[in-house]
Every structure is written in C-alpha cells, then in structure tokens.
C-alpha cells in the first residue's frame, strides 16, 4: 500500500495524528471558540540554516535548544515557536502540537482578510531552506498528511508562509514544487494562491 494511503487511513486521538512521532511542545494555546480550522500553512526550516538531519528543530520547538551550540542560535535566542508538524528530509513525520490547539508558527499574518492565521490553521514545517529543493520523501509524506488532515478537519485552503506574511517571510520558498500537489489539491478541493 502506498505511504499516502497508509497515512490517510490512520486515526486521530484528540488532535494527535497517530501516524506521526509525537514530541509535545509547550508552545501552544487554545484556539478561539469560533475558529474554523480551514487553512494549512506550509513552512520550511532548518537549524542552523541549510544544515539537515540534526535535532535542533525538535529542540527549538520544545524549548530545549542549546543556544550556545552554534553561533546562529544566538540570533534566535529565547524564541518560543512551534508547528503542528515537521517533515524531515527522509519523510519522517513529527507532531509537536495537537491540531485541536493553536501552534505558534505563523506570527503576524493575514489570509483572505482574516488576521491571526494561527487561530484557524495547521502549520506544517518541511526541513529545508528557502530557494533549495525538497526531497521526494517529503512530498510523499506531505501528500498523505494533507489527505488525512482534510478528512478529519474542514480544511479548504493551502498556502505558504510567504502568502500570509508577505515581505516578512519567504518560506517555503521557490524551491517548493507546488505542481507536485496539483492532483491531490484537486481531489481534496483545496484552494491555493496562484502558483
């Protein structure tokens, strides 16, 4: 069975996706009671930038990063952020925040006239760097995750961080191949900005 079908049939437990490795982040909050969870935001991250395969992203999202371990970490010292999901270069999927809660991934943001995207979105970080390409295993994992999320939540929109924070954020960047998701987006009825 293809990986995306396996992921799509995997159940949820109180906003936690059973198909992911779980590592709870303290960086989250309650969603507003009237929030309609209809947006998935794609991001890219690597720590230090352009370095892949370590545990720095997981440590950042759990407030356990050693700020002295690399000179770059001093530039983000004290940052408290999270995402719901993180897809590593090899396609391994991590979850840090229940999708029923608000992760801290979008910051100051607006989508289609609605501010505070964290309130109504699910944040997915891809291990990567703006301008660089992503791995086939990441697209495969992302496709299965998008299917599972869309079957469980009323998601209708898919956008990049750059779409909700233009001028401030560039991710996932020009290296992300939106066309690889075109068939899936059509199947799921996901609306995206023009790519």
In a domain? residue 164: yes
- Give pLDDT, residue 193: 86
The pLDDT tens digits of the residues spanning 139-168 come to: 999 999 999 999 999 999 999 999 999 999
- Taking alpha carbons only, the member of 37, 45, 61 closest to residue 149 is 37
In a domain? residue 119: yes
pLDDT(1) > 60? no
Catalytic residue among 125, 135, 140, 151: 125
Q: Which residue has the tokens 């607006």?
A: 110
In a domain? residue 194: no
In a domain? residue 105: yes
- Taking alpha carbons only, the member of 112, 152, 169, 161 closest to residue 19 is 152
- Give pLDDT, residue 7: 53
> Whole domain around residue 8: which residue ranges?
3-188
Give me 135's structure tokens.
């791995």
Residue 161: other Cβ atoms inside 10 A: 26
pLDDT(6) > 90? no
pLDDT class for 82, splitting at 50, 70, 90?
Answer: very high
In a domain? residue 195: no
- For the entire predicted model, the pTM comes to 0.94
**125 is a catalytic site residue:** yes
**CATH of residue 103:** 3.40.80.10
The pLDDT tens digits of the residues spanning 168-189 come to: 999 999 999 999 999 999 999 9
The pLDDT tens digits of the residues spanning 41-58 come to: 999 999 999 999 999 999
Tell me the C-alpha to C-alpha distance, in Å, between residue 89 and each of 1, 65, 69, 103, 153: 21, 20, 22, 22, 26
Q: In angstroms, rounded to a whole number, what is the distance separating the alpha carbons of residues 188 and 195?
A: 17
Lowest-confidence region among 3-17, 81-95, 141-155: 3-17
Q: In angstroms, rounded to a whole number, what is the distance separating the alpha carbons of residues 35 and 58?
A: 27
Domain tally for the chain? 1
Q: Which residue has the tokens 């779409």?
A: 163
- Give pLDDT, residue 10: 58
Give the 3-state secondary structure of residue 30.
strand
pLDDT(4) > 60? no
In a domain? residue 170: yes
In order, the DSSP letters of 44-56 are EE-SSTT--SSSH
In a domain? residue 172: yes
- Give pLDDT, residue 9: 54
pLDDT class for 118, splitting at 50, 70, 90?
Answer: very high
In a domain? residue 193: no
User: Rounded to a whole number, what is the distance in angstroms from the first to the last CA of the chain?
Assistant: 30
pLDDT(5) > 60? no
């Amino acid at each position: 069975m293809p990986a995306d079908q396996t992921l799509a049939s995997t159940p949820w437990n109180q906003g936690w996706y059973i198909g992911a490795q779980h590592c709870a982040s303290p960086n989250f909050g309650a969603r507003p009671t009237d929030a309609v969870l209809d947006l998935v935001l794609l991001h890219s991250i690597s720590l230090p930038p352009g370095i892949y395969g370590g545990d720095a992203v997981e440590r950042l999202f759990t407030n356990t990063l050693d700020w002295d371990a690399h000179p770059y970490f001093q530039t983000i010292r004290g940052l408290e952020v999270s995402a719901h999901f993180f897809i590593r270069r090899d396609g391994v999927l991590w979850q840090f925040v229940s999708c029923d809660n608000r992760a801290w991934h979008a910051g100051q943001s607006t989508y289609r006239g609605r501010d505070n995207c964290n309130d109504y979105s699910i944040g997915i970080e891809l291990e990567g760097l703006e301008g660089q390409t992503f791995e086939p295993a990441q697209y495969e994992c992302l496709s299965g995750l998008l299917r599972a999320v869309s079957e469980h939540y009323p998601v209708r929109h898919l956008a990049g961080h750059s779409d909700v924070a233009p001028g401030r954020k560039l991710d996932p960047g020009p290296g992300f191949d939106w066309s690889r998701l075109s068939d899936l987006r059509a199947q799921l009825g996901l609306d995206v900005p023009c790519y």
